[in-house]
Structure 1
Amino acid sequence: MKSYTTYTIVEEHQGLTVEVYLKQVLNYSGRKIQKLTRQKGIVLNKKTVFLQKKVKTGDILRVLTLDDLSYGVEPEPGPIELLYEDGYLIVLNKPSGLLVHPAGQTSRGTLSNYLAHYYQQQGAIYTVRPIHRLDRETSGCVVFAKDSNTQTLLDDFLKEGSLKRTYQAVVNGIVDPPVGTINAPIGPHPTKPNRRAVNQRGDEAITHYKTLQSFSGASLLELTLATGRTHQIRVHLSYLEHPIIGDRMYGKGSALISGQALHAFSLHFPHPVEQREIAVKAPFPTDFLRVLEHYSG
């Protein structure tokens, strides 16, 4: 059975041709549009349409979802914790110590390999498409798109800020002021190539934080990102002189936790196709809770 993604034309796009709408609004490549045309996969108001047809406010455009031919990674049995799933996307709770996707010399043993195996067990082929990444030692919510259309829309949500990510972290010391914004550019570390640092010639980086609880010698923070630089939260909190507990790269390790006490706690975003909001929360891992118990006790 063929699957379609449905779009309702809004007033600001009235007068665009179908081809321009597909390219400029939905970010379809010319090659993909050609493939859709060959398969009669572009339907306007229930009729197959020519690319030069102009759209009007309220028109209903349906676009064929092209089948994936591979997972993009090697399926591998492994545990996954499912937080949300529908026909367009899936959200997983990544454990600390696991890469989101193969990188460098690592081609197996990642969350993406395990997700590909999950798809395989369901009898489905979806290319594994992570919309964002978490550091290896950071736990929590990661969203994956099941098709290229959904990936494009979620990528746009991420860029424009409507895909909202909230983190929680336990940091050293009492943060003063308890609520604030860290606005400090981040670039390459001057001497350590695998690290990042606050660097006035770096890229703009903005992190908002709020203290949820203060303990003896530590604080539980809620953090949101206005930008998405590599290691941003970790670099900014170290720059603030409140490094995350257990962060060996930007602070120091802790016997209480195997990685750093940083957790991607929640995601909130509009569904890319259906007219509703999605809100997902990831439960804290055991060692994160152990850090909280240690400092609150």
Structure 2
Amino acid sequence: MSAYYKPITYTVTEKEDGWLLKTVLQRKLGVSRKLLSRIKLTERGVMLNGERVYISVPVKAGDLVAISLEQEVSDDILPQPIPFDIVFEDDALLIVNKAPGVIVHPTHGHYTDTLANGVVYYWREKGEKVRFRPVHRLDQETSGLVAIAKNAYIHQHISEQLIAGKVTKKYTAFVYGCPRPDEGVIDGPIDRDPQEPHRRIVTPAGYPAVTFYKVSECYALGAMVDLRLGTGRTHQIRVHMTSIDHPLIGDKMYTGTGGRGQLPVVQPPGDSGPFDGAIQRQALHASELGFRHPLTGEELLFRVPLPEDMENLRRKLQDLDS
């Protein structure tokens, strides 16, 4: 017999009296067509007043609509006791402050030692049957906030907020030089570099990409910059900051490649110069994440401080000013 997560419920109002159950599910509970096709076939997927019914039946004011999703596990992910920093957790969500150097999800050649391996182990030890569903991802070397949905319904709802631009995603970065003006918008299409497909470049033929930046601290050799994404292209912040001649400190892939007109930048590739020893990766941190909770409707906002290596870099930049 299948096991199910806690039901998600809705009480029909006077305004919805006479609606089809399918309409209530889609408009009031926000169930997508894809998810509805899946759950209506399960034994307890869609219930009306505690009974399984067809979704084509009309409802009455006061009726209790409930959907239940079958419990799932990530059988393809090896559980490993890998420590990670939990920022928030409830029955629907897990918010993690990812450490730098950690891959979010197993990929070809990296099947272990990922955030997913650690989270799956953590849930197994708690006795929870949950499939690993990250709503978004961060580059391996980027630290900071990652949202993980505990079922397909939660994943769908936060993903829709992402697409609609209703999710707050802010980053903190340290860049070479001090951008001028100290606040602005970088609007530059991004696509793969035809010479090196693993890299991205700004090109007129690329996909639309928008990044908002604001300098928060300026030093002799660099700056701390707050960034917000208008779109979510691969390597977007790294590519956009390079395109305006202010690449991220420690970014071995893009530092030294030049920006507008292929101008030379402060450091050659792979060399952190005066910052040597302060940081061994691109200085980028997902510092703030906000969205509406799919079940409670509460506006959630999470903030995490800079990790140790970026604080070390900050102090180094300050020391070089003195």
Q: Out of 257, 260, 283, which is 1:261 matched to? A: 283
Q: Which residue in 1 is equivalent to 2:313?
A: 291
The CA deviation string for residues 234-274 of structure 1, in whole angstroms up to 9 with x for no partner, is 00000010000000001144222111110000111110111
What letter is aligned with 1:4? Answer: P
Q: Out of 240, 243, 248, which is 1:239 matched to? A: 243
**3-state SS of 1:104 partner:** coil
Q: Quick check: 16-25 or 143-152, which moved more?
A: 16-25
The CA deviation string for residues 117-154 of structure 1, in whole angstroms up to 9 with x for no partner, is 11111111211001101001100000100111111111
TM-score calculated relative to the size of structure 1: 0.91
- Against the structure 1 CA distance between its residues 60 and 248, is the aligned structure 2 distance closer, same or farther, given a 3 Å change threshold? farther
Q: Out of 73, 93, 99, which is 2:77 matched to? A: 73
Contact 2:74 2:120 in 1 (8 A): no
Q: Which residue in 2 is equivalent to 1:119?
A: 123
Aligned length: 295
In percent, how many aligned pairs have the same letter? 35
Specify which structure has the bigger relative contact order, considering alpha-carbon pairs within 8 angstroms and separated by 6 or more residues: 1
Q: Which residue in 2 is equivalent to 1:199?
A: 203
Contact 2:40 2:46 in 1 (8 A): no
- Against the structure 1 CA distance between its residues 175 and 55, is the aligned structure 2 distance closer, same or farther, given a 3 Å change threshold? farther
State the Cα distance separating 1:19 from its structure 2 match: 3.3
Q: Out of 26, 34, 59, which is 2:31 matched to? A: 26
Q: Which residue in 2 is equivalent to 1:92?
A: 96
Q: 1:185 and 1:112 mapped to 2: Cα distance?
A: 31
Q: Which residue in 2 is equivalent to 1:278?
A: 300
The 5-angstrom pairing of residues 1-297 of structure 1 reads 3-7=6-10, 17-19=20-22, 22=25, 25-29=30-34, 31-36=37-42, 39-44=43-48, 48-54=52-58, 61-251=65-255, 252-253=269-270, 254=272, 255=276, 256-297=278-319
Gaps of 5+ in 2: 256-268
Q: Which residue in 1 is equivalent to 2:260?
A: none
**3-state SS of 1:132 partner:** coil
- Against the structure 1 CA distance between its residues 55 and 248, is the aligned structure 2 distance closer, same or farther, given a 3 Å change threshold? farther
What letter is aligned with 1:138? Answer: T
The CA deviation string for residues 38-73 of structure 1, in whole angstroms up to 9 with x for no partner, is x13323466644211346899753211311144541
**3-state SS of 2:124 partner:** helix
State the Cα distance separating 1:35 from its structure 2 match: 2.5
**3-state SS of 1:35 partner:** coil
What letter is aligned with 2:313? Answer: V
The CA deviation string for residues 2-27 of structure 1, in whole angstroms up to 9 with x for no partner, is 51123577999997643356568422
Contact 1:112 1:128 in 2 (8 A): yes
TM-score calculated relative to the size of structure 2: 0.84
Contact 1:75 1:114 in 2 (8 A): yes
Gaps of 5+ in 1: none
- Against the structure 1 CA distance between its residues 110 and 70, is the aligned structure 2 distance closer, same or farther, given a 3 Å change threshold? closer
Q: Quick check: 127-136 or 212-221, which moved more?
A: 212-221
